Amino acid sequence: MRLCRNLAMFLPLFWLAPCDSAGREKGTERKKDETEDGVAFKGKIPGRETSCTWTASGETHYTLKVTCLVWRKGKSSRRYTCEYTAEPALCSRFVMKPNAFWKDISRMLNRHKRHVCKDAHKTIGVRMCKSAPEGAHFRLVSPMMEIPMTTPSVSTGRPEDTPTTVCKQRADHRELAREKCGDAWASFCDFLFNIVQSEDC
């Protein structure tokens, strides 16, 4: 009887063990899927005349890619992109709080958006890594590069009318009047035909 009780106590543990292992495997796969594109963090740099998006990808050396769209009179007029690179792991606080690091990067990009992709001498760093080596701060390595606009052209003009042939000369109905009405009434019938004549010849 005591043996049966002991078995009854351990059976649930044997059943839970494979379930827990499967759960851990699923969690790993889900995490792997989330980082499949290689993007560690991404954000936006809003603006009235220029709006940008950015992505940070990499493992040790990170590439910060910025893509901007310039607006003129409510319409997109040009696009450009550039790339920064850095090794954030040189900053010990990045290793401890990576999410806080990327949020600070987002704030710095918004604060200095006028200089993004333009000033090669200005690095993008965060306060939490202020005392870190220079390599921990993002520096411009790929200057501003124009991206061709691929928006389809929209025709704003009125569609051209299909050309039509208009009869500019009035038709001669005398032969028809003579045939239908005879010689006596030919003149009168010709007069009637001319009244009801359409534009078609």
The pLDDT of 90-100, averaged and rounded, is: 93
According to the model, what pLDDT value does residue 64 have? 95
Is residue 148 over pLDDT 50? yes
175 pLDDT band, cuts 50/70/90, is: confident
Q: Which residues pair with 45 in a beta bridge?
A: 52
188 pLDDT band, cuts 50/70/90, is: confident
pTM tops 0.75, yes or no = no
Stretch among 60-69, 102-111, 127-136, 159-168 having the lowest mean pLDDT: 159-168
Is residue 23 over pLDDT 60? no
Mean pLDDT estimate for the chain: 74
Work out the number of other CB atoms within 10 angstroms of the CB of residue 64: 27
- Which of 121, 109, 100 is CA-nearest to residue 66? 109
Q: What CA–CA distances, in Å, run from 158 to 75, 151, 155, 161, 162?
A: 21, 21, 8, 9, 12
Q: Residue 37 corresponds to which tokens in the numbers above? A: 């594109």
How many degrees, rounded to 5, is the angle at CA 122 between CA 118 and CA 124? 100
Per-residue pLDDT reduced to its tens digit, 32-80: 334 446 788 999 999 888 899 999 999 889 999 999 999 887 777 789 9
Is residue 176 over pLDDT 70? yes
State the SS3 of the chain.
CHHHHHHHHHHHHHHHHHHHHHHHHHHHHHHHHHCCCCEEEEEEECCCCEEEEEEEEECCCEEEEEEEEEEECCEEEEEEEEEEEECHHHCHHHHHCHHHHHHHHHHHHHHCCCCCCCCCCCCECCHHHCCCCHHHCEEEEEEEEEECCCCCCCCCCCCCCCCCCCCCCCCCCHHHHHHHHHHHHHHHHHHHHHHCCCCCC
Cβ burial, residue 79 (10 Å; 0-12/13-18/19+):
middle
CA 38 to CA 145: how far, in whole Å? 22
